[in-house]
Structure 1
Amino acid sequence: MQSAVILRVSPGPAHTDRTGHICQETVDKPTRRRRAYLKDLKSRLNYLLQNSNAPSDPASKQHNKKNNTPLSRPSPSEARSWSESFDALLTNKYARTAFRAFLKSEFCEENMDFWLACEDFKQTKSSSKMLSKAKKIYDEFVGPEALREINIDSNTREMITDSLQAPTPSCFDAAQKRVYGLMMNNTYPRFIQSEFYQNLCKTTEETQEDAQWNR
Structure 2
Amino acid sequence: MCKGLSSLPSSCLEKAKEMRVRLSHLAETHQKHRGHDGKALHDLDSVLNKKSGLHAFHEFLRSEFSEENLEFWLACEDYRVSSSNMQKTKAGSIYNQFINPEAPKEVNLDAETREAVLSVMDSPCADTFNMAQQRIYTLMAKDSFPRFLRSSHCMEAH
- Equivalent residue, structure 2, for 1:109: 67
- Equivalent residue, structure 2, for 1:122: 80
Higher-Rg member (1/2): 1
- Equivalent residue, structure 2, for 1:184: 141
Matching of residues 186-201 of structure 1 within 5 Å: 186-198=143-155, 201=158
8 Å contact 2:56–2:157 — kept in the other structure?
no
The question of 1:92 aligning with 2:50 is answered yes
- Tell me: higher relative CO, structure 1 or 2? Use CA pairs within 8 A at least 6 residues apart: 2
Matching of residues 20-39 of structure 1 within 5 Å: none
Give, in whole Å, the separation in 1 of the partners of 2:126 and 2:144: 27
TM-score (norm 1): 0.54
8 Å contact 1:114–1:137 — kept in the other structure?
yes
Q: How many residues align?
A: 125
Give the partner amino acid of 1:112: L
Give, in whole Å, the separation in 2 of the partners of 1:80 and 1:182: 27
Instruction: Name the Cα RMSD after superposition.
Output: 1.8
Matching of residues 139-158 of structure 1 within 5 Å: 139-158=96-115
Give, in whole Å, the separation in 1 of the partners of 2:35 and 2:117: 40
Change (3 A) 1:77 1:137: closer
Q: Percentage identity across aligned positions?
A: 38
Q: Give structure 2 stretches of 5+ with no counterpart.
A: 1-33
Q: Give structure 1 stretches of 5+ with no counterpart.
A: 1-75, 202-215
Give, in whole Å, the separation in 1 of the partners of 2:64 and 2:53: 17
Of 107, 112, 132, the match for 2:89:
132
Whose helix fraction is larger, Structure 1's or Structure 2's? Answer: 2
- Give the CA deviation at 1:121: 0.2
